[in-house]
Structure 1
Amino acid sequence: MKVLVGTRCLIQPKTGIGHYTQELLQALGQLADSPEISSFPASPLLRLTQLGLCASKSLNHWAKIFAKTKGNGDRLGSGGQPAWLEKIYNHLLARELASGKYDLYHEPNYFAHPTDLPTIVTVCDLSALLHPDWHPAVRVRRHEELFKWLLPSGAHFLTISEFVKNEMVQVLGVSPQRIHVTCCGVRDHFRPMPTEAIDAGLKRLGLPRGYFLHVGTIEPRKNLILLLKAWANLEPQWKSKHPLVLVGGIGWADSKTLDLIHQLKSQGLIHLGYLAEKDLPVVYSGARAFVYPSHYEGFGMPPVEMLACGGAVLTAPAGAVEEVTSPSAHIIRSNDVADWRDAMTLVASDSDWHNHLTSRALETASRYTWKRCAELTLVGYQHTLGLANPMANRSHAA
């Protein structure tokens, strides 16, 4: 089986989809019955040549391709690039898909290119369709245009939770037989750390022990104003002992949240911004609890990473988060500031309850491995091509 996988999402800085794609490709390559995987674009150097940015390419040739985009240099295509660059990319991808070298096309970042090849697309969530007010208008429009042709195309889908699969079936009317659940894995470096390593890492980052932690982009969907108000309303003894640490870059259209963050810095709030991957296990391990009031997630990797480090999690149901963190996380179903404040007070003050929350954290996180994700992805590939289920064959042989 020869599979072409879209890897534009691996261009730095990687998002969650980029990490998913990188880990999945590595795990697929380690399977005993691994398919033959090719990536597009295949390497940083090839990205440059394929996008027509090398001097060896004829400008006249590319001018014919994107002449109609003249004057639209500021418009963004589906990958976030200028429209003319998007057109070059799509031209080259279409040529690769039509080369006859592949049996299957897998697009891990939603925006599949139309092709006659059997196609499977990873759908991480449907928030752009179901909750458009949480996204920029251009992103919503791109998703609407995508699903308009993708749903009737016969493509198969990979979802990263049962929750997203159920939404696709119930809301979009997709047949369950076209959807394959392949939960994400937890990267190996998210695990309990020795006390000495935690202390050294926190000292390097300038952090105390025992803070409340949130990891995620600052954007409306994350519901951070609720968390900020809950922490601000803690009794002084708990707020001073357990500052709130925010990790993550600034998203879009959330000026009210940013204003409140700025105000609360004088009370001990710490906003670290985007952190290097190597620092995240330390930050998780130094926290008293991870707090996650998000409105909606297709999986919820940060709370699962916290569990993998052995930590306590307080979270909203947030779509798939309850599914993937149960039974370890404490689920707060209310959107009331007082309820979140009370839960944060309890986890700060009651060591027995804190220990209860952490007691099954590692067991819950152990459900999620990239090997298992790769095995289930391979099943999805086989089903899309109408082939026998390799997992069933393996079980029968055993």
Structure 2
Amino acid sequence: MIREHLCGHHPGAGCGSLADYYVLMIEPSMKLLTDLDCLAPPLTGIGHYTRELTQRLMHAHSVHEVRAMFHGRFVDTAGVETLLNHALMPGAAASAGLLTRLKPLVRELPMARWAWQRVKAQRFAAVSRQWQPDVYWEPNFILKPAACPAAVTIYDLSPLALPELHPASRIALLKQSLISSVARADRVVTISRFTAQALETHLGVASEKVRLVPPAAGADFHPYSEHEQAALRERYELPARFILSVGTLEPRKNLSRLLSAYERLPDALRADWPLVCVGAKGWNDAALSADIERLSARGELIRLGYVPQQDLPCLTAAAGLMAYLSIYEGFGMPVVEAMACGTPVLTSQGTVMEEVAEQCAFYADPLSVESIHAALESALHDVSARERFTLEGPAMAAKYCWADSAQVLHDTLAELT
């Protein structure tokens, strides 16, 4: 297949914009099969990643048709477009289907996750034989059987490196399926050099088989005017300045240590800098919920829970500091999004976040409450460093570009046709 450029950088064009595309005069030929279960709202980081790249692949001139599985049923190209558009619509999370709302309950049933994966795999294999796609891209870890070359995206190897950070049912399925998926895939797509190295270390994946396709901040993540920030703070009843924490309430996000470190701050500093927590409920969060309730009762923590996607960029820009002390990530999307908004970030040293933010962030040892406390207090007092990160953040975030990543993914899939 003739190689094709998806994006042309020219004056005045935003890197993440669909207007960046130009095409070569070739006939469209690629029939692409994928799985879009992760587009069920509310979108996770994997959901946003998949949506951004799928949207751009569908505008590639060489891609003739895209079909996808979505919760056990197959949709054609028009249906894929509908899924992409619906995922970010206001109210999409509230109107999610019954299956999506029952997922947390189904996960608790013995063997339910395994059984559902078997059903989807059988349906996927049948449609693959019938439609005969040129290539299959699996954006969410577990490669299904398909009668064509395949690429799988692996975001991180935390199930193998730190299994204690995941529910036991998830670990059992992911360990088995992850090893099998990587072995069967013709190409392994990953999102950072950190994860590429982990693939080689833990699974012996040759570097020649790996392609780096990092995520980026969406176009809505940029500095906002004071007027826009004030309007959002008024709507959410937020103070003039606050620390923002974004992430699901689960052990890997390390919110418990952040709360312990925050409580050690001087009373006056906590009064001036309340902690605003955004994110859905996760698992094993009973003790964490008690800590949140205690701090909330003192007026030092504001729990917003799920925030609609259309409000998250301005909320990020309105924060005086983002605290993202995750123990293990494959990339760290909130860090790039905060930098794009000009919001200073305190994040985890010795992790992929150092690859992402480089010298444009405050760092702490995520496993040490003392280190987090010291770095947090230092960041809140160091006005000059925060101002420098505000100025340098957008340029640092701009190193990551959805159009460039879509180009690499497209070329990777084209290699296999």
TM-score for the superposition, normalised by structure 1:
0.84
The aligned amino acid for 2:120 is Y
Aligned partner of 2:353 in structure 1 is 321
2:219 aligned with 1:188: yes
Q: Name the SS for the 2:113 alignment partner.
A: coil
Q: Are the aligned partners of 1:248 and 1:274 in contact in 2 as well (CA < 8 Å)?
A: yes
Instruction: Determine the structure 1 residue equivalent to 2:58.
Output: 29
1:150, CA displacement in angstroms? 2.5
Instruction: Tell me which residue corresponds to 1:288.
Output: 320
| 1:219-248, Cα deviation, whole Å (9 max, x unpaired) | 111111211011111111111000011100
Secondary structure of residue in 1 paired with 2:189? strand
Asked whether the 8 Å contact 1:184–1:370 carries over to 2, the reply is yes
Which residue number corresponds to residue 396 of structure 1?
A: none
1:281 Cα offset (Å): 1.4
Closer, same or farther in 2 for the Cα pair 1:125/1:35, shift >3 Å?
Answer: farther
Equivalence for 1:63: none
Partner of 2:46: 17
Give 1:318 shift: 6.0
Mapped to 2, the partners of 1:383 and 1:226 lie a distance apart of 45
Corresponding residue for 1:252?
Answer: 283
For residues 128 and 176 of structure 2, the distance between their equivalents in structure 1, rounded to whole angstroms, comes to 21
Q: Quote how far apart the aligned CAs of 1:138 are.
A: 1.0
SS in 2 for 1:171: helix
Alignment counterpart, residue 110 of structure 1, candidates 133, 141, 154: 141
Fraction of identical pairs, as percent: 32
C-alpha displacement at 1:269, in angstroms?
0.8
- Specify the alignment match of 1:153 in structure 2: 184
Q: What secondary structure is seen at the aligned counterpart in 2 of 1:122?
A: strand
Deviates more, 1:112-121 or 1:25-34: 25-34
Residue in structure 2 matched with residue 131 of structure 1 by the alignment: 162
CA deviation after TM superposition for structure 1 residue 35, in Å: 6.0
Extract unaligned runs of 5+ from structure 1: 48-71, 386-398
Correspondent of 2:297 among 258, 266, 282: 266
User: Distance between the aligned counterparts of 1:74 and 1:333, measured in 2?
Assistant: 37
Following the alignment from structure 2 to structure 1, what is the Cα–Cα distance between the partners of residues 241 and 138?
Answer: 41
Residue 91 of structure 1 pairs with residue 97 of structure 2: no
Distance 1:74 1:337 in 2: 36
Contact 2:124 2:145 in 1 (8 A): no
- Asked whether the 8 Å contact 2:279–2:307 carries over to 1, the reply is yes
The two structures, once aligned, show a CA RMSD in angstroms of 2.3
Give the counterpart of 2:153 among 122, 130, 141: 122
Distance 1:130 1:384, change over 3 A: farther
- Which amino acid counterpart does residue 288 of structure 1 have in structure 2? G
The C-alpha deviation readout for 1:349-388, integer Å capped at 9, x for no partner, is 2321211222210011111221111001012213344xxx
1:39 lines up with 2:39 in the alignment:
no
User: Mean alpha-carbon deviation: is it higher for 167-176 or for 323-332?
Assistant: 323-332
Deviation, 1:33, is 4.6
> What residue is the counterpart of 1:201 in the other structure?
232
**Aligned 8 A contact 1:247 1:274 in 2:** yes
Partner of 1:77: 113
> Aligned partners of 1:293 and 1:344: how far apart in 2?
11
Moved over 6 A (4+): 44-47
- 350 and 21 in structure 1: CA distance in 2 versus 1, 3 angstrom threshold: same
Tell me the residue number matched to 1:142. 173
CA distance in 2, matches of 1:272, 1:43: 35
Matched residue SS, 1:187: coil
> SS where residue 77 of structure 1 aligns?
helix
Deviation for aligned residue 1:317 = 2.7
Q: Which amino acid aligns with 1:198?
A: Q
SS in 1 for 2:130: coil
Name the structure 2 match of 1:231.
Answer: 262
Shift in Å at residue 34 of structure 1? 4.6
Asked whether the 8 Å contact 1:328–1:360 carries over to 2, the reply is yes
Please list the CA deviations of residues 196-237 of structure 1 after superposition, one character each: whole Å capped at 9, or x if unmatched.
Answer: 111001100111121111100011111112110111111111
1:337 matched to which residue of 2?
369
User: Can you list the C-alpha shifts for 1:73-132, whole angstroms capped at 9, x where unaligned?
Assistant: 864225xxxx3x555433321111112531111110111112331110010111112211
Distance 1:282 1:165, change over 3 A: same
Q: Distance in 2 between matches of 1:347 and 1:174?
A: 39
Letter of the structure 2 residue corresponding to residue 20 of structure 1: Y
Whole-angstrom distance in 2 between the partners of 1:353 and 1:363: 16
Pairwise CA distance, 1:287:
1.0
Q: How many residues align?
A: 356
Task: Say which one has the larger Rg.
Answer: 1
CA contact (8 A) 1:161 1:183 kept: yes
